[in-house]
Chains A and B, each alone.
Chain A
Amino acid sequence: DSGVTQTPKHLITATGQRVTLRCSPRSGDLSVYWYQQSLDQGLQFLIQYYNGEERAKGNILERFSAQQFPDLHSELNLSSLELGDSALYFCASSRRDGGAVGQFFGPGTRLTVL
């Protein structure tokens, strides 16, 4: 158990819908990262927040957005969902900004868009 929690574990929805994925980092970790894992693209970095502020952006679609709240939990919002958004979405956390000490991953949320 990494100490990072993600809810829900599974999510099944229809095209065009909007969903919210939730992540609680390990106690004391200020950085939260979101990654997408799909069969064709592999593991890709989406976005990072550090202590409530956006720090880095990767291959995140404009239909996706995220935020980190004062209690440090984070939410990833996916809207206008398409079939290709079906994937495993991971949240990771680290103590400091750079993540060089290692990022600890949650169990993931499996999103299926029908």
Chain B
Amino acid sequence: AQSVTQLDSQVPVFEEAPVELRCNYSSSVSVYLFWYVQYPNQGLQLLLKYLSGSTLVKGINGFEAEFNKSQTSFHLRKPSVHISDTAEYFCAVISGAGSYQLTFGKGTKLSVIP
């Protein structure tokens, strides 16, 4: 069974500073990886996904993530954050072995400080 670990539950960062949100996964088979964002009192919005190919994937709102198979990681980065990036971010995985559901990490709350 797959699992997802988000190493930081809360990350405060100053506006215009870079940020990295860490995600590690465990799975014995090939995986598809996702980052979702949840703004206060809203549903989840897909930021980006890795299915195959280039290990660096770019998403919406200036976010990008790098898939590292040897370290089983899929960290999310943004070079310069904005106040509007304050939200909770979820890393998720679908196993390629005929599994259809998303397995989510516990989430990381990003707080951007003006």
Contact = CB atoms under 8 A, between A and B. Distances in A.
Interface range for A: 20 to 34
Interface string A71-114: 00000000000000000001010000111111111111000000
Contacts of A45: 101-103
Interface string A49-68: 00000011010000000000
A24 interface: no
A56 B100 CA distance: 7
B25 interface: no
Contacts of B99: 56
Contacts of B106: 42
A92 to B, nearest CB: 8
Contacts of B53: none
Contacts of B46: 102-104
Nearest to B36: A105
Interface stretch (B14-22, B37-45, B70-78): B37-45
Given A42-B106, A48-B100, A105 B43 contact: yes
A100 B29 CA distance: 14
Contacts of B32: 100
B51 interface: yes
In this complex, which of A33, A35, A43, A98 has the most chain B Cβ atoms within 10 angstroms of its Cβ?
A: A43
A97 B100 contact: yes
B100 A99 contact: yes
B94 interface: yes
Contact of B101 (A4, A58, A102, A104): A58
Contacts of B42: 107
A104 B101 CA distance: 13
B34 interface: yes
7 contacts: A42-B104, A43-B107, A56-B100, A90-B44, A100-B94, A102-B34, A105-B45
Given A31-B100, A99-B94, A101-B51, 12 more contacts: A2-B45, A33-B102, A44-B104, A45-B103, A48-B101, A55-B100, A58-B101, A90-B43, A92-B102, A99-B100, A102-B34, A105-B45
